[in-house]
Amino acid sequence: MTTPVSSEPAGYPQIPPAKRDSTLAIISLVTGIVGWTIFPFIGSIVAVITGHLAKKEIRESGGLLGGDGMALAGLILGYTMIGLTVLAIIIFITVIVLMVPATSNFLEFTSLFPSTM
């Protein structure tokens, strides 16, 4: 028994097209880093917004777009900086509120002793 000879040339395996990174994912990562360095609050908000948009874009691309990790890193950097900023504001307000009674008591105490200048 002989094998039939094929007249078609041997095909090469198909190489899948390279995934292109989502531009929004790159922007999310860059603004997340900028949010930690140059523009703390504004960069973080932009990182969160573009990160969510990038994840949606990647999910809806059907596997043609990559960059999910960059979008996730931008989201983590953005949310972390926003959380720390809100925490710092809460601590600052708490310190100010706690200092007002101490300052008023101090001013009352010093008014008891007139200065002799």
Q: What value does the mean pLDDT of the chain take?
A: 86
Domain regions of the chain by residue span:
20-107
Please spell the DSSP secondary structure of 45-102, one letter per residue.
HHHHHHHHHHHHHHHHTTSSEE-HHHHHHHHHHHHHHHHHHHHHHHHHHHHHHHHHHH
Kindly state the average pLDDT of the residues 55-83. 95
Task: Give tens-digit pLDDT for 35-67.
Answer: 999 998 899 999 999 999 999 999 999 889 999
Report whether pLDDT(74) > 60. yes
Report whether pLDDT(76) > 90. yes
pTM: 0.73
Measured CA to CA, the distance from residue 13 to residue 24 in angstroms comes to 32
Q: pLDDT-based confidence at 106, cuts 50/70/90?
A: low
